[in-house]
Amino acid sequence: MMRGRFAPSPSGKMHIGNAGCALLSWLQVRKAGGSFILRIEDIDRGRSRVEYIKQLIEDLKWLGLDWDEGPDCGGPFGPYIQSARTELYEAAFEQLKEKGHLFPCFCSRKDLKMLASAPHGRDSEGPVYPGICRHLPEEEQAVKTRIKTPSWRYNTESVRAVQFTDLVLGDQYFPAGFGGDFVVKRADGLFSYQLAVVVDDALMGITHVTRGMDLLDSTPRQIWLYEALGHAAPCFSHIPLLFGPDGTRLSKRHGADITIEALRKAGARPEAVIGYLAFLYRIIDRFEPLKPTELIPLFHLTKIPKAHLVVEDLKQISSLKLS
């Protein structure tokens, strides 16, 4: 049975781009008759806010999106909030360490800043780490550890090339070692997104992941982690992001009107927001207010564009208030 999820980070209020990802994930699962999971990814405690979790849940319910397992209703694979799953990440981290996949990294922020001119990944992963600390002798590691707490990186020196078929973008290929050695545990003790999302999806039995194209670069790293931890990777669908007329990714800089909360308070109907999103993502060929359940028979991943979508006129969003 298909198991999909929506895993928002409570670092801000949900806007229509986030809602679009939730809708497409939900439609994929509901059309297949599977289980839909809501998981809160609050591993970055510095940016996450408890009040945003409550707001996210309210916004999703207002839109007409439901879930079978989640932080508010529980389920067999909980807890469904990352801050309560630290022991699971620690166990996976120790497993990777024992297998020799990790090495301590003592590079300072200044060292890493100097990598800014190095080749970058496709989109989100930043400069390629050149393996500065990869082969430090154990004696030197011990000396450095007494001076500075290290981060821990995944050694990509001997990983394989990654090929997979994205259900939206088609065949994807990443060469061996793409993006360089990546952080699994930070020097301050926080586990990375890469490790946490793999552990969560694997232990929750997630079979299909639908998320934004900005996370495409993360996929090879996650596939290497799945393999190292002895799990099968899910099927991936990377969907286009929404951009404003200024050519930048849609965000709060474009105004508060793009948040679901603002649309609700201004009197928008949830069916209008859902219909607008369905039209943006080409699920329907003309705008009309619809409930999520009405879109299920119309949904197919082949309809979703393969390039980012531009909202040319932000008044289109504001006009939903009048619907």
Cα–Cα distance, 176 to 220 (Å, whole number): 9
Q: Is residue 258 within 8 Å of residue 252, measured between CB atoms?
A: yes
Give the active site residue among 61, 113, 148, 252. 252
Cα–Cα distance, 217 to 117 (Å, whole number): 19
Residue from 28, 63, 22 nearest 274 by CA: 63
Relative to beta strand 102-105, strand 151-154 is: antiparallel
Cα–Cα distance, 15 to 255 (Å, whole number): 10
State yes or no: is 252 an active-site residue. yes
Per-residue burial over 281-310, b if 16 or more Cβ lie within 10 Å, else e, is: bebbeebebbebebbeeebebeebeeebbb
Cα–Cα distance, 284 to 289 (Å, whole number): 11
Point out the residues that are catalytic: 252
